[in-house]
Structure 1
Amino acid sequence: MGLSKVNRLSSREDFRAVFRAGIRRNSDRMTLRALRMQNATTSVADGKLATATHKVGAPTRIGISISTKVSKKAVVRNRIKRQLRVAFRCLLPRISPGWLLVVIVHPSAARQECVTKQFLQELEQLLVAAEVLNGNS
């Protein structure tokens, strides 16, 4: 089973904020972008002022970005997304609240036939490196 709707990052503005201001950690199969939510975040893009308001104690929200460069087949991309959601669901109780997280999957993830355990291990390493897990922030 995947992530609940409360923990899913879906708005384009939130993805842009994470890509613009978030920290980046890389591994062989994926990149993690992480942004700590503030009471009010303000950003300037293309000369326009955009404000997104988030509560600091709000639940952590997670987005997964996987392009057709990973695989032309939607079946393969969707399988990887499902595996990542399951891995995140296992790690969610240990993640501090108030983060926006985006995982960008690299093409090597499809070539290596990863299983959920491998994704779980790699995600845990990335979250520790980004100091997102409880006890690390």
Structure 2
Amino acid sequence: MALPKANRLKSRKDFQAVFREGIRRHGSYLTLRALKPLCLINPSLEIAAETKQATDSGHLASTKIGISISTKVSKRAVVRNRIKRQITAALYDLLPKLSPGWRLVVVVKPTAAESKCVSPQFLQELEQLLAQAEVFDGHS
């Protein structure tokens, strides 16, 4: 399953902002970079239109997610794409549980390609990292 377009982190500027200002949580296969929505950092801040954090109804924009996987993980694109698809599928299942407005980047570590049974481990580690970063709705 692909992530809905509204939930994809696409621009280089967004990735740079998450890497520069976001919090980090490390696991054995993945690193999570998470940038809180502006209103959670400072509630008195008025949300700028160019950051697109607010929708017309005044609610926070949907959580945007990007996946970063370098050739250090594997030289073979087939392997990298398989890992990326499995992470995307796990994130698709977790999407309803996530608080709105976050910008997330999942960075895949080289140890991920060495692991043969990827899906259950990724899903479990991804959930742990999201919980540590308190990205879940209600911090469950």
- Please give the range of the TM-score, normalised by the shorter of the 2 chains: 0.7 to 0.9
Aligned residues with identical type, % of pairs: 62
Aligned partners of 2:114 and 2:67: how far apart in 1? 18
1:71–1:110: 8 Å Cα contact kept in structure 2? yes
More helix by share: 2
Of residues 59, 75, 86, the one that matches 2:78 is 75
- 8 Å contact kept, 2:112–2:118: no
**Counterpart in the other structure of 1:6:** 6
**Counterpart pick for 2:48 among 40, 43, 48:** 40
The TM-score, its normalising length taken from structure 2, stands at 0.86
User: Could you say which residue in structure 2 is the equivalent of 1:122?
Assistant: 125
Q: How far, CA to CA, are the matches of 1:114 and 1:19 in structure 2?
A: 29
Q: 1:113: how far off?
A: 2.0
Give the Å deviation of 1:92: 0.5
SS of the aligned residue for 2:66 comes to strand
Report the equivalent of 1:48: none
Question: How far apart are the structure 2 equivalents of 1:20 and 1:64?
Answer: 16
Structure 1 ranges of 4+ moved more than 6 A: none
- C-alpha spacing 1:114/1:21, structure 2 compared with 1 (3 Å): farther
1:54 paired with 2:53, answer yes
1:121 and 1:103 mapped to 2: Cα distance?
14
Which structure has more strand as a fraction of its residues? 1
- Measured after TM superposition, the shift of residue 19 of structure 1 is 0.3
Secondary structure (helix, strand or coil) at the match of 1:68 reads coil
Question: Unaligned 5+ residue runs, structure 1?
Answer: 42-50
Deviation at 1:115, TM superposition (A): 2.6
Partner of 1:47: none
C-alpha contact (below 8 Å) 1:87/1:117 kept by paired residues: no
- The correspondence of residues 107-118 of structure 1 with structure 2, limited to 5 A, is 107-118=110-121
For residue 54 of structure 1, report the CA deviation from its aligned partner: 2.4
